[in-house]
Chains A and B, each alone.
Chain A
């Protein structure tokens, strides 16, 4: 099983930009995407801050050239990011080789379902959104928009680790030779459903989130879509593809501790990181940068920090949580942070963990707070979710 999994394209839309270049510009100029919520009417608007994508649905629909109010926002942003990924990989005929599409989502078309919940009976003009509640429906619509036919298309929903797991499955299918190439990542739009759900769990911050800070108050929800194109060695050689980086390692484990909270010592996170290092054939000391899950909830950052210490001992690599820029984009987070990990490799940059002031009292860990240049060969990215789902991906410059 010596096959490499090459990353040949990527696309993203988030609160800090509508494409890869805009995201990079924001990351390198400390332009954060967190603000008051404007596109959803909620009674919590004065108590929360979110990472919203700037464009409204009509603007996105126009960009995609589709009719008004046919798709959920999850599908709109997913289509934009997936299209950019394909284009950046130089793919013009998606069906010429065996191609898959694996997407993570938690809400699917919930934005429309909650908007029209009581209206379907009297208003036939909105019934196109009824089947949109299926998470799989959003993925199928994006696949159709990309023109993918007779392909392997599936959806993963493991809460906030969904996109990381989509990348993992894609990498495994390339390695085993089941697919020549695959588009992997995730998409989630903001919805009242998630805002109120996280509100009941009392883990939303009323101000800018401060990952790994002793005075952190919780997370900022965000929305985003981000995808990578993964291709086999054979494809890269045959088509002389430019390679942006490699998916070198991956690991998935379950914390099996609590439905929504992480274990105190980060058992699941430790297992996921150990597995990923093993698959990559790397020792912890070769990791140059950790893009942490770092949601800025009291529970996550403590658990993840302890897990980092258990894996890396007294040599924890430079780390940061870019959620301070984008908010926590739930199912898309693993995709967003995969794109940022590749950008870190390409540009030899560590992106800052904004808003950090005071180290946590439980341990001596300080994230990178200003952009830093450094040769980077390997990046480790964590994504954890409800249901105990813990995932780690390792990206590298060399196969």
Chain B
């Protein structure tokens, strides 16, 4: 008998005021830019300044986000059986600096810190080190399904009762060289764009961003639980014509039908070339389903769907869909089941299914 999997707590550092979990997208920050950064929490409250000085930003954001998730779950660090982190590029700021130093100094006068922090698994490793957690420790680095791979791994272990409590996280940082090069190939919008209008921009590319989202997952429900994680599926490729069919298959595999879904959360980022995947759901079976969006709030990055997953959890626990994530005026009273569909540039599609618990 497979055990059910629950999300017990959330932690978020994003371009919105999400690290304070007491509010829920009430005060929205809008930007007019091609890239946006996280609102920095007061890192000093979480990390001793001496340690923070050499820490990559990805590690700092993750530390805050993970600590908030652990605090909310009100569990001891020793109760964490495993740590699983997804990241598209790891602490890429340190990787870039290390490469730059290699080239600029002709392979001389290098120091190990930047190399160590550029190892993709540095976040999961440092969190384990900080907590003394000797359990299963994995890092997934598969672009826009890095978080989803981590959730799948955690779900597998919790269902089989190989672990009871797992810290799952996702982090990516925004750095200059990455931004400059992705401008060159048109993956970032050419012109500054109002985030509030980005989903209707009709231009190519996305607004790039960064963030860290951590969650405590468990196979034991309690009064604080946010939601039940029913299913996860990812696809390396998916034809645009197959999106609706695959979603229906996925729901059926989880003993649900389209009419059981109260809300779709979609990963539109305002890239006119690739939002077409989501637009197929405006017709056909899901035409009249309520739909919510979040990348006009979070921006786009490999683990941006961490914001989407955070959003779904907050909606299910609070029985409230904030108006900031809706287009037009909808009333969605107390949704019970949410499906999240995300993809990036037509690759690495993911479906996540959550239920109120």
Which residues does A use to contact B, with CB under 8 Å? 1, 42-44, 101, 105-106, 108, 110, 113-114, 117-118, 120-121, 124, 127, 130-131, 133-137, 139-140, 143-144, 148-159, 165, 169, 172-173, 176, 178, 192-193, 196-197, 199-201, 252-260, 267-268, 271, 385-389
Q: Evaluate contact between B119 and A159: CB separation under 8 angstroms.
A: yes
B88 close to chain A: CB less than 8 A = yes
Of A154, A192, A268, the most chain B CB neighbours within 10 A belong to A154
Q: Evaluate contact between B129 and A259: CB separation under 8 angstroms.
A: yes
Q: Evaluate contact between B115 and A201: CB separation under 8 angstroms.
A: yes
A253 to chain B, nearest CB (A): 5
Q: Evaluate contact between B348 and A140: CB separation under 8 angstroms.
A: yes
Question: What 4 new A-B contacts, CB under 8 Å, besides A134-B302, A199-B107, A271-B134?
Answer: A130-B185, A152-B236, A169-B138, A193-B99
B268 to chain A, nearest CB (A): 21
Residue in B103, B137, B146, B153 whose CB lies within 8 Å of A389: B137
**A200 to chain B: which residues have CB within 8 Å?**
110-112, 115
**A259 to chain B: which residues have CB within 8 Å?**
116, 122, 125-126, 129
Q: Evaluate contact between B119 and A165: CB separation under 8 angstroms.
A: no
Q: Evaluate contact between A256 and B128: CB separation under 8 angstroms.
A: yes
Q: Could you pull out 24 A-B pairs where Cβ atoms are within 8 angstroms?
A: A44-B107, A117-B100, A117-B177, A127-B181, A130-B181, A131-B185, A131-B187, A140-B348, A152-B235, A153-B234, A153-B348, A154-B149, A156-B139, A173-B156, A193-B98, A199-B110, A200-B110, A254-B134, A256-B132, A268-B134, A385-B121, A386-B125, A387-B125, A388-B129
Q: Evaluate contact between B141 and A136: CB separation under 8 angstroms.
A: yes
Q: Evaluate contact between A157 and B141: CB separation under 8 angstroms.
A: yes
Q: How far is the CA of A108 from the CA of B95 in the complex (A)?
A: 12
**A258 to chain B: which residues have CB within 8 Å?**
129
**A257 to chain B: which residues have CB within 8 Å?**
129
B242 close to chain A: CB less than 8 A = yes
- Known contacts A120-B181, A134-B143; is A388 also within 8 Å of B149 by CB? no
Q: How far is the CA of A70 from the CA of B99 in the complex (A)?
A: 21
Closest 3 CB pairs of A and B: A387-B125, A197-B115, A157-B120
Q: Evaluate contact between B125 and A113: CB separation under 8 angstroms.
A: no
Residue in B112, B135, B138 whose CB lies within 8 Å of A165: B138
Q: How far is the CA of A385 from the CA of B187 in the complex (A)?
A: 34
**B115 to chain A: which residues have CB within 8 Å?**
193, 196-197, 200-201
B185 to chain A, nearest CB (A): 5
- Mostly helix, strand, loop or mixed at chain A's interface? mixed
A146 to chain B, nearest CB (A): 10
**B89 to chain A: which residues have CB within 8 Å?**
133-135
A102 to chain B, nearest CB (A): 9
Of A101, A199, A200, the most chain B CB neighbours within 10 A belong to A200
Q: Evaluate contact between A117 and B236: CB separation under 8 angstroms.
A: no
Chain B 137-154, CB-CB to A under 8 Å as 1, else 0, gives: 111111101100100010
Q: Evaluate contact between A253 and B182: CB separation under 8 angstroms.
A: no
**B119 to chain A: which residues have CB within 8 Å?**
106, 157, 159, 386-387
- Which residue in chain B gives the minimum CB-CB distance to A175? B160
Residue in A153, A157, A388 whose CB lies within 8 Å of B90: A157
Q: Evaluate contact between A150 and B238: CB separation under 8 angstroms.
A: yes
Q: Evaluate contact between B184 and A120: CB separation under 8 angstroms.
A: yes
Q: Evaluate contact between B102 and A114: CB separation under 8 angstroms.
A: yes
Q: How far is the CA of A319 from the CA of B102 in the complex (A)?
A: 38
Q: Evaluate contact between B140 and A156: CB separation under 8 angstroms.
A: yes
B37 to chain A, nearest CB (A): 20
B1 to chain A, nearest CB (A): 12
Q: Evaluate contact between B116 and A155: CB separation under 8 angstroms.
A: no
Residue in A120, A153, A268, A271 whose CB lies within 8 Å of B236: A153
**A158 to chain B: which residues have CB within 8 Å?**
121, 124, 137-139
Q: How far is the CA of A131 from the CA of B135 in the complex (A)?
A: 33
Q: Evaluate contact between A143 and B236: CB separation under 8 angstroms.
A: yes
